[in-house]
Chains A and B, each alone.
Chain A
């Protein structure tokens, strides 16, 4: 069965610190990869996505993610976090051969202290 693992349940950082959130998946075929962000009390919003091409993907608000196929990973990074980045971050994987269902990780809560 398809599974998506986010290693960190809760990450606490100070402003200006660098961020890296891990995401690994178990599907061996072609994949579409996503990071979603959920700010407190809000719905999930697409942060960035990877379908093909350059494995380093840049998203909104200075976030980027790198797809490493050999490691089945799609880690999210940001060089310098801000207080406003406090949110929950979800990694999601879709099978590239078919549209439709995404498999979501359990999420990582990021808290940034000013």
Chain B
């Protein structure tokens, strides 16, 4: 198995631009999670899905963030418009009782 796949691995964008992060979970995993990691706030859970349905989005910082999971093999996290304070590493994880993390997307908003 290739593990959790995320793209892009690095993204540099200007403030105000739309950013879309992508995730392909491990096949057969029912849960998908989006996390954000920064030095200041550590690892934060943004949202998670069960069988493609959003279960808890209370960690999404504000309306500029949205996430979708149109099918069992794909999810997106969109930030529109992006701001410098969104700069972080965004991880996708999949699993059930335990979670497996993807390599992350390092986002820099200038």
What residues make up the interface of A, taking CB atoms closer than 8 Å to B? 32, 34, 36, 42-46, 49, 51, 90, 92, 94, 99-102, 104, 106-107
Contacts and interface: CB of A to CB of B under 8 A. Distances in A.
Interface residues of B, number: 21
A32 B98 contact: yes
B30, B101, B103: residue with the most chain A Cβ atoms closer than 10 Å:
B101
A80 B31 CA distance: 36
18 contacts: A32-B98, A44-B43, A49-B98, A92-B99, A94-B97, A94-B98, A99-B31, A99-B96, A100-B48, A100-B50, A101-B45, A101-B48, A101-B55, A101-B56, A102-B99, A104-B43, A106-B42, A107-B43
Interface in B82-103: 91, 93, 96-103
Contact of B97 (A42, A43, A51, A107): A51
Nearest to B55: A100
B25 interface: no
Contacts, number: 47
A60 to B, nearest CB: 14
A43 B98 contact: no
Interface of B: 30-31, 33, 42-43, 45, 48, 50, 55-56, 91, 93, 96-104
Contacts of B33: 101
A74 B100 CA distance: 20
Contacts of A104: 42-43, 45
Contacts of A92: 99
A42 B103 contact: yes
Contacts of B30: 99
A105 to B, nearest CB: 8
A36 B102 CA distance: 13
Contacts of B50: 99-100
